[in-house]
Amino acid sequence: MSEAVKIDPIISLRNVSKSFQGNKIIDNVNLDIYPGETFVIMGCSGSGKSTLLRLMTGALRPEEGSVLIKGKDIASISEAQLDEVKKGFGMTFQYSALLDSLSVEDNVALPIKEHTKLADEIIDIIIKMKLALVGLRGYEKYLPSQISGGMRKRVGLARAIALDPDIVFYDEPTSGLDPVVGGVIDHLIKDLSVKLCITSVVVTHDMQSVFAIGDRIAMVHKGKIVEVGTPDEIRNSKNPYIQQFINGKPEGPIDFFKEDIGIIQALGL
């Protein structure tokens, strides 16, 4: 039997915890994400999956534990050092987060102009290349308000890959889109990670998306990782949380009401 080659994870979370106003939102999470894979984090609204993503991007700092990006612990470095790490990854947002006042090309050019000293002609070529990758050539001069939601998400994606990052974080990439456009975005995520060898971390609760793009999937519930596995392992998991979530059943261990308050108590009767 050949010995497996040991690959170092590109993102690694070690005993990470985060609280807001005394509520533990992320509770002692350990997670490894490997170079080149598309890692999907799924979970209900309020489960802590977006917080987990923001801990990985350095937007939030954990109270305990360490977040290692390419071996560097971003939980304990200075803002200036964190900025250097941030230049190595891109992120797309749930509502695209394009700057309203800038045209499509200026939005994509923004990180390039800010962090490189490239000539305008070169930047123009890069913008055209990035927009071609997301299928939006010809829309350079449009304002974000003049294009559709799906197109805005694709511009956001072009902006995220503008600096040729190793890692791209996607926050709810298909939410608010119709199934066809959602499928296009899924295809694009998969396509870009293969073409550009990008590590993708996708936070979503869109089940179609989860199984379409995920190389590995993690389910988060109440700030803890319930299970990590390949799409097949997750689909065939015996874990009742996962079965309830992927089948969208209202009954099961995932409760949407406060556990110990019955209707009589809730109404104060």
Partner 1 sequence: MINALGKFVIDYLKWVKGVVILFMDILYWTFIGPFKGKAAHREAIFYQMSFVGVRSIIIVFFVDIFTGIVIAMQTAYQFEKMGAGIYVAALVAIALCRELSPVLTALVVAGRVGSAIAAELGTMKVSEQIEALDTMAINPVRFLAVPRFLALLLMLPCLTILGDIAGIIGGYIVGNGTLHINTDLYFQTTFKYLKCKDIYTGLIKSGVFAVIIALIGCFEGLNTRGGAEGVGRGTTRSVVISFILIILADCILTAFFYFSKV
Positions that interact with partner 1 (CB under 8 A): 57, 59, 82-84, 86-87, 90-91, 93-95, 97-100, 110-111, 114-115, 159
Q: Give the residue carrying structure tokens 């977040």.
A: 67
Q: CB nearer to partner 1: give 63 or 114.
A: 114
**Torsion sign (Cα): 219, 227, 25, 93:** negative
Which H helix or E strand runs over 235?
Answer: helix 231-235
Residue 187, classed as helix, strand or coil, is helix
Nearest distance in Å: CB 162, partner 1: 9
Nearest distance in Å: CB 41, partner 1: 17
Q: CB nearer to partner 1: give 28 or 94.
A: 94
Q: CB nearer to partner 1: give 54 or 221.
A: 54
Q: Which two tokens stand for residue 256?
A: 């949407």
Q: CB nearer to partner 1: give 114 or 178.
A: 114
Q: How many CB atoms lie within 10 A of CB 259?
A: 5
Nearest distance in Å: CB 222, partner 1: 24
Nearest to 160 by CA among 123, 209, 200: 200
Which H helix or E strand runs over 103?
Answer: none
CA distance 142 to 165: 25
Nearest distance in Å: CB 112, partner 1: 10
Q: CB nearer to partner 1: give 160 or 242.
A: 160
Q: CB nearer to partner 1: give 44 or 102.
A: 102
Nearest to 253 by CA among 240, 263, 262: 240
Nearest distance in Å: CB 132, partner 1: 21
**Torsion sign (Cα): 51, 245, 29, 222:** positive
Residue 108, classed as helix, strand or coil, is helix
CA distance 180 to 178: 6
Nearest distance in Å: CB 99, partner 1: 6
